[in-house]
Amino acid sequence: MDTAGLTTLNAIFQDINPPPSRIPRLLGYGLAVVCLVWVLHDFHIVKAMHELAGVNWKWVALGAAFDVLSYGVQALRWKLLLTPLGKVRIGRAVRAVYAGLFANAIFPLRPGEFLRSYVLADSEAISLGRVLGSVGVERLVDLVIATASLAVVSLVVDLPRRWVRLAETLAIGALALLSIVVLLILYLEMKFGSHPAPEVVTRRFRGRFMGALAALHAMGTAPSFYSAVLTSFLMPACQVLGLWAMMESYHLRLSFLAAVVVLLVINLGVSLPNAPANVGSYQFFCVLGLSVFQVEKTTAAGFSFFAFLGLTLPIVLLGFVALLRSGMTVHSMREQVAGLPDKVSRSNA
């Protein structure tokens, strides 16, 4: 369907459906303001400018390169997860991932996960529901890896007691979710055996649910799933290296394990409803993570803004290029984001 047709359909469905609630968006912006007020309280700009003047830009370039690479790895993992559901070209997966990142940078509440799923489903002829299911598998794998990393780091780094309790709580939650998923896959293995589940075309809830389970079974039992899991370790590794390189450029002189802790705190924090590009929440949780290692607040706050810009701007530029390559504009992307909830609700599992 051409862009004009999609625009017309969006206009029709927007007229039929009531406008979405603004409460989540207001909460996101409110959280960003509160976070920025706390970060900038007692902030000494002269000291921060002096520290910025001493930045080593070679380390900045290295950090940005590792961060950009991490999302290329994410696209590769996504391709591997979707292998049993259809042929996905790595170039299309990379383009969709960066287009989603660009959407997260200019819209609140992180709609990029849905947008990248829509872009890939549209280009690779895989149902949107199944692509969204693969994103859910990604998040589960990421949660397990993050929890395991935090647990390991807590054994070798002297973390405050509240962080240790957080690691224990996350470990219990991740283990429970993982157990449920494994049991579901075993159930479907016994139900379908070596025969794939039939394509589900009904739009009733039970049909969608079974379709989602069938897609989960296909992904979880495919040989490519193990390659996807191994690839999943490379993505956070690249992101930690990127953040650690930024720390080196700012002369924080913290260890690689410290970068692991700070990145985990940031990633947990920005998962909450937030403003575009995680403004506010990124800085707050970066300062919070650095406080574990007794980094002075002005230094931590200055670094949080510096790392945010250094790691975000390259992603935004690449995301904009990916958006244009996908045939969309910022205006059409805005229309697609507005209509995504309806597309998700009408998609087959």
Assigned domain for 12 exists:
no
pLDDT at 297 over 80: yes
Assigned domain for 292 exists:
yes
Assigned domain for 230 exists:
yes
Confidence of residue 349 (pLDDT cuts 50, 70, 90): very low
Q: Domain total for the chain?
A: 1
Confidence of residue 347 (pLDDT cuts 50, 70, 90): low
Q: At 302, list the tokens.
A: 């200055």
CB 232 within 8 A of CB 148: no
Question: Whole-model pTM above 0.85?
Answer: no
Assigned domain for 55 exists:
yes
All residues at 6 or more sequence positions from 167 whose CB lies less than 8 Å from its CB, including other chains: 147, 150, 151, 154, 159
C-alpha span between 47 and 74 (Å, rounded): 37
C-alpha span between 185 and 215 (Å, rounded): 10
Question: pLDDT for 199-239, tens place per residue?
Answer: 444 445 455 556 566 677 678 778 888 899 899 999 999 99
Question: Which domain covers residue 110, as residue numbers?
Answer: 24-346
Assigned domain for 61 exists:
yes
Question: pLDDT for 303-337, tens place per residue?
Answer: 999 999 999 999 999 999 998 887 777 777 777 66
Assigned domain for 276 exists:
yes
237-83-206-96 Cα dihedral, nearest 10 degrees: 60
Report which of residues 95 and 166 the model is more confident about.
Answer: 95
Assigned domain for 9 exists:
no
3-state secondary structure of 220: helix
Q: How high is the pLDDT of residue 192? A: 60
All residues at 6 or more sequence positions from 229 whose CB lies less than 8 Å from its CB, including other chains: 141
The helix or strand, by DSSP H or E, that contains position 69, with its residue range, turns out to be: helix 57-82
Report which of residues 165 and 231 the model is more confident about.
Answer: 231
Report which of residues 341 and 79 the model is more confident about.
Answer: 79
Question: pLDDT for 263-291, tens place per residue?
Answer: 999 998 888 767 888 999 999 999 999 99
Q: What is the DSSP letter of 276?
A: G
Q: How high is the pLDDT of residue 208? A: 54
| Nearest CA among 74, 81, 184, 168 for reference residue 133 | 81
Residue 7 C-alpha from the chain's centroid: 27
* Number of neighbours of residue 100 by Cβ within 10 angstroms: 27
Q: At 1, list the tokens.
A: 């369907």
Residue 177, Cβ density class (10 Å: 0-12 exposed, 13-18 middle, ≥19 buried): middle
Assigned domain for 191 exists:
yes
**Least-confidence region, from 10-14, 181-185, 211-215, 293-297:** 10-14
